[in-house]
Structure 1
Amino acid sequence: MSDRILTTHVGSLPRSKDVTDLVFAQERGEAVDPAQFDAVIGAAVDDAVQRQVEAGIDLVSDGEMSKISYATYIKDRITGFDGDSPRTPPKDLEMFPSFLERQAKGGGTPTYRRPKCVGPIAVKSMEPLEADLAHMVAAMVKHQPGGGFMNSASPGVIALFQPNEHYATQDAYLEALAEAMRPEYEAIVAAGLLLQLDSPDLGLGWHMMYKDRSEAEYLRLIGGHVEALNHALRNVPADRVRMHVCWGNYEGPHCCDVEMGVILPTLMTAKPAGLLFETSNPRHQADWTYFAEMAHLIPEDKILIPGVIDSTTNFIEHPRVVAERIERYAGIIGRERVIAGTDCGFSTFAGFGVVDPSIVWAKLKTLAEGAALASERLWRGVAA
């Protein structure tokens, strides 16, 4: 970051049919040959890392190949989850029921199981994580990216999608989740990877989990989410962790999204040094103004990773647009503290993705091109 803008993304990438078929078969409880599963996932991770490197991405991921989703995968790793939970649509989609119905009929609503907490939370098995780490490290050794990260669910997002029916209080539930996830967080960093905590609950929670709460009450509640997260990270250096915050990776009105200016002070109290956030979709393009107005609240050790590519549209952004978005944030906190990212993942749920897989790779390539253009301007004074 001393002489150019680095590139990364939020994590999930398109999965092949072979991967999706195996992940869903496993989800349905069908017999899946462990050796076949390991071979297919390993090959998919290798391919994903190679494609990211070829596209010009510096900090790469495994694409979350082995996971059915970024939050519910934990049922295979920690105890206490079973059954299914009712679906609660975001508040903005409730306001436009015809659009909600169209989404459901068009296959835009994933139908996989979302278990609820019905018993004590504890570590069940580290084997799935160990397999993920082995695949990722092997792919990095082979393809030599600038660095790598691995996604992991935050305590708050687990609680968002898997409601508590066991613990006496929500705080007790979050505390148990934090302690059970702590070994995963520490193992990812010990493997030499950056840990990315997916925490959409801090934005999405306003119009899903806490949709009837006041703004003050909401801030108090997500403050508890951040406190639990920080406690789980007590043995992990801040500069080895980044946190992703978003308002839901779906095309929709988003007119009920909590304003970035409201939650930014709370986000700055989270331990992770890096913050990934949306700033390309139409609802959040102006959020840079909040960062400009509140720059004094951003600690000097924080790294901003704005989403300069939209993850819900098949438009391929022009490199000049990408560069302009990067430069806005560089002008606020300095060029050495900005990494170019994406608004969200491109395959948040296995088998579901609005952006065509071939276009995903084209969008990542234009992300790298835009970062290179911004670097020319920011370091070498090349005119636009």
Structure 2
Amino acid sequence: MSLPTEPIGSIPRPAQLLAGIAEHEAGRLDSDALQSRYDDAVRDTIARFEALGSPVVTDGEQRKPSFATYPVHGLDHLAADGVEIPFADGHSRQLPKLTAGPFRYAARSVDYLRAAQRYATVPVKQSVIAPSALSLLYPPEGIDGYDREAFLDDLVNEAEADIREALDAGASSVQLDFTEGRLAVKLDPSKGLLDSFVALNNRVLDRFTEQERARIGVHTCPGGDQDSTHSLDVDYAELLPSLFALHAGVFYLQLASEADPDRVLRQVATHSRPDQRIFVGVTDPVDPVVETPEQVRDRVLRAAEYIAPERLGSCDDCGFAPFSDDRSTSRDTAWAKIQARIEGTAMAAERLGA
């Protein structure tokens, strides 16, 4: 038998691209030259995925300044002092804050997808930010003349359009990045915030047919930035029942970095539905140690004790560089981990087939 294996999203940017971004910001590189470097980075990313035998590829988010805020990058009605997200190592990321309506995306994921499709010879998946994350852009004090309900209506419309355009353009799947799920439990242990996130995301997902939702997945992890996380200390059991209430057909679960994966897998077996495919994380981008194919094989086989193999797949725990300035993981380390994932998953598939 074969088991699907997929990347989650970001790949560390090559040094030439990082240098080009810095030179452009300093006024020493024009926009056309910078775009050429972006093109080179996407081309190289896809070529390296395919050389490793990846059955599905992404653009590695080479053009995204941030996995979370790319849709609003460049909007003029934003302030810098939005929600602050602290990480375990002491650093933090701060979201922007909307200052006026109406809310519209400044960038569409379909543009990233089409740029990747120019170079790919295998299916291309597209990651998008979950609308629940973007809901954090609305300030708690409100906006004069633009209430929260009007904002949410606009957000749902924009998120639907972003997903639908990618599906219509031929994405093999669209992955909603829902890293704020576990964080929501940390911010609000009553789970009121988590419930509101699930309800908002389902407002978007319910606009798609059952066949379309089979191509829509949800990724969750405790964050991953500069080799640190924002919510790994939150018990997975506090998230998983609500997670599987999302009306999606595929789930990508961080698992390699869990201290007790069997406990998590028992929860997955209990709360997931038979029609939901589960991709388990088998490589940890936060850990600088490269997994061996044998470790990956064993992680997949352990998951198969709880999840029927026909519902099972493997993935990385999260993206390797979700913010463009994150240089904590080298590009070569990321590729070595991806190679181990692909080879180890094939070894597990052979074992399960036998």
Judge conservation of contact 1:72–1:161 (CA < 8 Å) in 2: no
* Residue 179, structure 1, aligned to residue 153, structure 2: no
Q: Following TM superposition, by how much is the alpha carbon of 1:180 offset from its aligned partner in structure 2, in angstroms?
A: 1.6
| Structure 2 match to 1:54 | 51
Paired with 2:147 and 2:350, the residues of 1 have a C-alpha distance of 56
| Structure 1 match to 2:223 | 248
Paired with 2:139 and 2:352, the residues of 1 have a C-alpha distance of 46
* Residue 263, structure 1, aligned to residue 239, structure 2: yes
Query: Residue 45 of structure 1 is aligned with which of 29, 42, 45?
Result: 42
Q: Following TM superposition, by how much is the alpha carbon of 1:72 offset from its aligned partner in structure 2, in angstroms?
A: 1.4
User: How has the CA–CA distance of structure 1 residues 344 and 255 changed in structure 2, closer, same or farther, with 3 Å as cutoff?
Assistant: closer
Judge conservation of contact 1:310–1:342 (CA < 8 Å) in 2: yes
SS at match of 1:188: helix
The CA deviation string for residues 57-110 of structure 1, in whole angstroms up to 9 with x for no partner, is 222100011111101111148x674120256343x74xxxxx52xxx5xxxx56
User: How has the CA–CA distance of structure 1 residues 65 and 300 changed in structure 2, closer, same or farther, with 3 Å as cutoff?
Assistant: same
Paired with 1:341 and 1:324, the residues of 2 have a C-alpha distance of 14
User: How has the CA–CA distance of structure 1 residues 266 and 186 changed in structure 2, closer, same or farther, with 3 Å as cutoff?
Assistant: same
| Structure 2 match to 1:191 | 169
The CA deviation string for residues 228-248 of structure 1, in whole angstroms up to 9 with x for no partner, is 442465697111111111111
Unaligned runs of 5+ in 2: none
Paired with 2:224 and 2:99, the residues of 1 have a C-alpha distance of 28
* Residue 280, structure 1, aligned to residue 251, structure 2: no
Paired with 1:233 and 1:119, the residues of 2 have a C-alpha distance of 29
| Structure 2 match to 1:96 | none
Judge conservation of contact 2:269–2:306 (CA < 8 Å) in 1: yes
Residue 59 of structure 2 aligns with an amino acid whose one-letter code is D
| Structure 1 match to 2:65 | 68
Query: Residue 155 of structure 1 is aligned with which of 114, 124, 131?
Result: 131
* Residue 117, structure 1, aligned to residue 98, structure 2: yes
Q: Following TM superposition, by how much is the alpha carbon of 1:364 offset from its aligned partner in structure 2, in angstroms?
A: 0.7
Q: Following TM superposition, by how much is the alpha carbon of 1:299 offset from its aligned partner in structure 2, in angstroms?
A: 1.6
| Structure 2 match to 1:223 | 198
Q: Following TM superposition, by how much is the alpha carbon of 1:343 offset from its aligned partner in structure 2, in angstroms?
A: 0.7
User: Under a length normalisation based on structure 2, what TM-score does the superposition of the two structures give?
Assistant: 0.87
Paired with 2:110 and 2:81, the residues of 1 have a C-alpha distance of 29
Paired with 2:105 and 2:137, the residues of 1 have a C-alpha distance of 19
Q: Following TM superposition, by how much is the alpha carbon of 1:148 offset from its aligned partner in structure 2, in angstroms?
A: 1.5
CA RMSD of aligned residues (A): 2.9
Deviates more, 1:182-191 or 1:285-294: 285-294
The CA deviation string for residues 110-131 of structure 1, in whole angstroms up to 9 with x for no partner, is 6xx74211112443556x6454
| Structure 1 match to 2:272 | 298
Query: Residue 79 of structure 2 is aligned with which of 78, 83, 103?
Result: 83
Q: Following TM superposition, by how much is the alpha carbon of 1:214 offset from its aligned partner in structure 2, in angstroms?
A: 3.3
SS at match of 1:180: helix
Aligned pairs for 1:358-369 within 5 A = 358-369=332-343
Q: Following TM superposition, by how much is the alpha carbon of 1:159 offset from its aligned partner in structure 2, in angstroms?
A: 2.8
Q: Following TM superposition, by how much is the alpha carbon of 1:278 offset from its aligned partner in structure 2, in angstroms?
A: 1.0
Paired with 2:350 and 2:256, the residues of 1 have a C-alpha distance of 22
User: How has the CA–CA distance of structure 1 residues 239 and 124 changed in structure 2, closer, same or farther, with 3 Å as cutoff?
Assistant: closer
Judge conservation of contact 2:179–2:223 (CA < 8 Å) in 1: yes
Residue 139 of structure 1 aligns with an amino acid whose one-letter code is Y
The CA deviation string for residues 324-344 of structure 1, in whole angstroms up to 9 with x for no partner, is 111122222211211110111
Paired with 2:337 and 2:233, the residues of 1 have a C-alpha distance of 25
Paired with 2:294 and 2:202, the residues of 1 have a C-alpha distance of 39
Q: Following TM superposition, by how much is the alpha carbon of 1:379 offset from its aligned partner in structure 2, in angstroms?
A: 0.5
Paired with 1:21 and 1:86, the residues of 2 have a C-alpha distance of 28
Paired with 1:350 and 1:55, the residues of 2 have a C-alpha distance of 24
Residue 300 of structure 1 aligns with an amino acid whose one-letter code is P
Judge conservation of contact 1:303–1:337 (CA < 8 Å) in 2: yes
Q: Following TM superposition, by how much is the alpha carbon of 1:261 offset from its aligned partner in structure 2, in angstroms?
A: 1.8
SS at match of 1:308: strand
| Structure 1 match to 2:346 | 372
